[in-house]
Copies of this chain bind each other. A is one copy, B any other.
Amino acid sequence: MLKLKWFDIQKWGVEGKGWKDTERYFDRLPARAKKVVPEAVWNLSRSATGMAVLFETDAPAIHARWKLRNDQINEINFPAAGFSGLDLYTWLGNKWRWVAAGHLVRTPKHQQPIIEGMNPVKRKYILYLPLRNPVVKIEIGVPPGSNFKSIPPRKEKPIVYYGTSIVHGAFASHAGMVHSSILGRWLNNPVINLGFSGNGKMEKELAELIAELDAQIYVLDCLPNMGVDQVKERVENFVRILRKKRPKTPIVLVEDRPHTNSWIRPALLADHKRKWKAYNMIYQKLKKSGVKDLYYVKGKSLFGDDHEGSPDSSHPTDLGFMRQAELMYPLLRKLCRKG
């Protein structure tokens, strides 16, 4: 095999990184957050969820070699291509179109051709990083003779998506299929993914950190991780902290999806309803008190209406992710200033 030319993506930088002052390059929170946020949030912030790198090449094949921090490559119901894989799309005139996933990940040190057999035409690509397994290093390889040009992260203000394991990507089948990334492609806009599995709980420290980000839109999608008491205690304050620092940035409050079998589990459905009621009351209160540019999305149909969006009733498959993206799109399209 010909010796490939390798390019380390850290050399020109990834998109979807909120802070530069991180302890490790692919962390999602700044080093100073370590002393501030709950330990679980800190640990979960170390996966490069939602990050992506842009480049241009006329290569007929694109390879990658990547090193991951953990031996665990997937979970029993969370596929390797999403958990530890790379995911490649190309810009086709007016939209991002899927090319291939680096899906054959079996060990934390891994190399594979992502795609081969293309016409050698100059194209712009975006490569998504693994959703869960923290990244040590990623290099892109092209055959000798091919041109390769790095593209720095885009300048548009990012959509900031703060949430739970769902935003963190479980159980996307490939890295680009988390709904925040689907929406980023459809809106052609950078996204910062702040999903913290099991720990999207709207602590005020997170509000203060997130308020540092000059976002195009804030999407707050934490309800699956919060109880009614936490909703009552935290949501208003969280929004007020954001609003104080960012007077005009649209803030979208998303209800939790009902578990796809809550229709047959009365106690669970009642739980959802109590949370929705408490959450909506806070939304109404904030609106009445004069908070502008605040939006509310009902959760009922986030995974669709046929109850087929999840294997464990809680975490979406690609079908559930696609449906969340479709439900969120019209509002985010309206709020996205480029539009």
Contacts and interface: CB of A to CB of B under 8 A. Distances in A.
Interface stretch (A51-59, A74-82, A222-230): A74-82
A176 B263 CA distance: 19
B115 A261 contact: yes
A318 interface: yes
Interface stretch (A9-17, A32-40, A103-111, A135-143): A103-111
Contacts of A116: 265
A145 interface: no
A27 B47 CA distance: 43
Contacts of A317: 173, 177, 317-319
A57 to B, nearest CB: 13
Contact of A104 (B76, B82, B85): B76
Given A117-B266, A308-B322, A318-B319, A76 B76 contact: no
Number of copies: 2
A101 B259 CA distance: 13
Contacts of A100: 261, 313
A310 B98 CA distance: 10
A112 to B, nearest CB: 11
B311 A103 contact: yes
Contact of A77 (B81, B263, B264, B306): B81
A171 interface: yes
A261 B171 contact: no
B101 A311 contact: yes
B311 A264 contact: no
Interface string A160-198: 000000000001011001000010000000000000000
A318 B308 contact: yes
Nearest to A78: B79
Nearest to A269: B117
Contacts of A104: 76
B261 A98 contact: yes
A307 interface: yes
16 contacts: A74-B77, A76-B79, A76-B103, A90-B264, A97-B307, A98-B260, A98-B308, A99-B261, A100-B261, A115-B261, A118-B266, A119-B266, A317-B317, A317-B318, A318-B319, A319-B322
Q: Which 4 A-B pairs have the closest CB atoms?
A: A76-B80, A81-B311, A174-B311, A98-B307
